Structure 1
Amino acid sequence: MTTTGLDARLDRIGTDGTYVIVPMDHGLTMGAVTGLKDIESTIDGVTSGGADAVLTQKGIAPRVHEHKNGKGYIVHLNGSTTIGPDENDKRLTGTVEEAIRVGADAVSFHINVGSDHEPDQLSQLAELTDDATRFGIPVLAMAYARGPGVDSTDAESLGHAVRLAEELGADIVKTGYSGDAASFEHVVESTRLPVVIAGGSKGTDRETIEMVRGVMDAGGAGVSMGRSIFQHEDPEAIATAVAGVVHDDLEATEALAEAGLALEA
């Protein structure tokens, strides 16, 4: 159900229905990796470059607001660590009310569709969307195809994951990329929600921007891209290039050039 508050908050984390979101909740998962020690500078850079919103765990909120240049803020509500027994076992780390108290415009939740933890995460996401609806706050569902025997780039599996997010009441859905625009069309067509993609491990600038171009060509709504942006040697420049494709419909070469990034990269 749409409400005035929900629509207003969706506007704060996007641009005309497209989204460049930079998740930086990796400190919980991986520790203070490159780009996250001085997270204030990184947030300033990516939002100056054209990111619509940044995303962190709730405890980082005091380090976000003064540096986000008026852009949106999303609080992530579950997590796990790379040194724990099972990284796919994402546990609750906050509530919608806590996110609102620290100034969030939206909340996000990660579910691994096909994993041993899917049943619990499914129930938690359903409860979360119900809670968020009461407050008029958008939910970004990070719905991945991950688990024993699951191909995380298979378009059918990704399509199932994004549809699950809609069925459970999310407002935006993030998932993996299937590898090309033609196959990703099936993923986008599997839901009426705006579909954004994860960046995954950092590739070359050209690989990153061509992937973004493929998503938009398939009818996607943008990206929720972490390490490919915040671990870049120039986070502001790569954010500018990504935003050029998502917001201005630039081709990859043009976006890289306008951002001042080497075309051969």
Structure 2
Amino acid sequence: MPHSPGLQRRMHRLLPPGPAALWLPLDDGLISGPEHHLRDVRSLLSPTVVESVTAVLGFRGSLAAATPQLLGKPLVMNLSASSIHRDHTRKTAVGSVADAVHQGADAVACHVNVTSPYESEGLDQLSRRVTEASALGVPVVAMVYPRTVGENGADYNYFDVRERSPEEFAVLVRHCVRIAVDLGASVVKTMYTGSPETFRTVVESAMGTPVLIAGEALVDEEQAIERAQDAVEAGAAGVAFGRQIFNRTDAAGFAARLRKSLDGALPQHEAHAVR
């Protein structure tokens, strides 16, 4: 069945041909709390930040509050939620695709934690969102990570595996990406594997579906920029960096420097396959 013109147009706005994408996720305000520059996202979204990023991802309240700043920017509304205070790896469905369309979003997002005790629930949610969104011509961004509950009850993200055995970690991430692709996601957001060589295999496993990397915990500027460049040069469509931007004192300055570095990263991506 041909993809709808609406889906094609929305994908073109989200990931136009040219330099790599720089998405700004704001959803951590619900997940971890409104700290740092997330206390009031309107103050974070200075003209410099808005000009630097190519799309913004968040929950409906923050996106609505920032409507004046984001009128010309593509939006991705997150429709799966949890907080750090209880069952963080268990995402619950919030809102609908119709809600997102009514608010002007170009896409919706759904989160799945692979290896979590709640993985099956996440797969069901993602599948349902893809069916719901396809009927309205809306892309689904699948945020799929290798993540479970650690022995102390905190998130376990397999970062020790990434450090000890990058290929073993890449196996996990490749599986995350293939899950998203096989369930019909239009874009996949996942973890960086640690090197361009291993991440190139992740991009291959997406079979043409664009892949973006998450920002993860705050690191120094040089390391964050290098990770972004390496991912793009390995074939990523771009990055979705939240904490790497809003947890810095000079959020606007870093966003501008990151944008400049991505503009020079190779290869520049062309129009992506529409799913």
**TM-score between both structures, scaled by the size of structure 1:** 0.88
Shift of the alpha carbon at 1:102?
Answer: 1.5
SS in 1 for 2:174: helix
Q: Report the counterpart of residue 254 of structure 1 in structure 2.
A: none
Shift of the alpha carbon at 1:46?
Answer: 5.8
Q: Report if aligned partners of 1:199, 1:226 keep a CA contact under 8 Å in 2.
A: yes
One-letter amino acid of the structure 1 residue matched with residue 10 of structure 2: R
One-letter amino acid of the structure 1 residue matched with residue 122 of structure 2: Q
Q: Choose 11-20 or 228-237, whichever is displaced more.
A: 11-20
| Paired positions, count | 250
One-letter amino acid of the structure 1 residue matched with residue 58 of structure 2: T
Q: Report if aligned partners of 2:215, 2:243 keep a CA contact under 8 Å in 1.
A: yes
Q: CA RMSD in A?
A: 2.0
1:195-210 to 2 correspondences below 5 Å: 195-210=211-226
Q: Report if aligned partners of 1:61, 1:103 keep a CA contact under 8 Å in 2.
A: no
Q: Report the counterpart of residue 222 of structure 1 in structure 2.
A: 238
Matched residues in 2 for 1:249 and 1:195: separation?
16
Unaligned runs of 5+ in 1: 252-265
Q: Report if aligned partners of 2:100, 2:108 keep a CA contact under 8 Å in 1.
A: yes
Matched residues in 2 for 1:167 and 1:38: separation?
37
Q: Report the counterpart of residue 256 of structure 1 in structure 2.
A: none
Matched residues in 1 for 2:93 and 2:33: separation?
18
Q: Report the counterpart of residue 111 of structure 1 in structure 2.
A: 112
Q: Choose 55-64 or 181-190, whichever is displaced more.
A: 55-64
1:65-104 to 2 correspondences below 5 Å: 65-68=67-70, 70-84=72-86, 86-104=87-105
User: How far does the alpha carbon of each residue in 1:176-234 deviate from its partner, in whole angstroms, 9 at most, with x for none?
Assistant: 01111111111111112111000011111001000001101211111111110122222
SS in 1 for 2:72: coil
Q: Report the counterpart of residue 188 of structure 2 in structure 1.
A: 173
Q: Report if aligned partners of 2:41, 2:62 keep a CA contact under 8 Å in 1.
A: no
Shift of the alpha carbon at 1:250?
Answer: 7.2
Shift of the alpha carbon at 1:4?
Answer: 1.5
Shift of the alpha carbon at 1:2?
Answer: 2.5
1:1-265 to 2 correspondences below 5 Å: 2-16=3-17, 18-45=20-47, 47-68=49-70, 70-84=72-86, 86-147=87-148, 151=158, 153=162, 154-191=169-206, 192-249=208-265
Q: Choose 106-115 or 67-76, whichever is displaced more.
A: 67-76
SS in 2 for 1:107: strand
User: How far does the alpha carbon of each residue in 1:46-69 deviate from its partner, in whole angstroms, 9 at most, with x for none?
Assistant: 643420111111122321221126
User: How far does the alpha carbon of each residue in 1:133-177 deviate from its partner, in whole angstroms, 9 at most, with x for none?
Assistant: 111111110010112687354101100000110100100000001
Flag the 1:240–1:37 CA change in 2: closer, same or farther, 3 A.
Answer: same
One-letter amino acid of the structure 2 residue matched with residue 181 of structure 1: P
Unaligned runs of 5+ in 2: 150-155, 163-168, 268-275
Higher relative contact order, structure no. (Cα contacts within 8 Å, ≥ 6 residues apart): 2
Matched residues in 1 for 2:96 and 2:28: separation?
19
One-letter amino acid of the structure 1 residue matched with residue 204 of structure 2: E
Give the fraction of aligned pairs with identical amino acids, expressed as a percent: 34
Matched residues in 2 for 1:173 and 1:10: separation?
13
One-letter amino acid of the structure 2 residue matched with residue 137 of structure 1: V
One-letter amino acid of the structure 2 residue matched with residue 179 of structure 1: G
Matched residues in 2 for 1:14 and 1:45: separation?
21
Q: Report if aligned partners of 1:14, 1:20 keep a CA contact under 8 Å in 2.
A: no
Matched residues in 2 for 1:250 and 1:44: separation?
28
**TM-score between both structures, scaled by the size of structure 2:** 0.85
Matched residues in 2 for 1:250 and 1:217: separation?
5
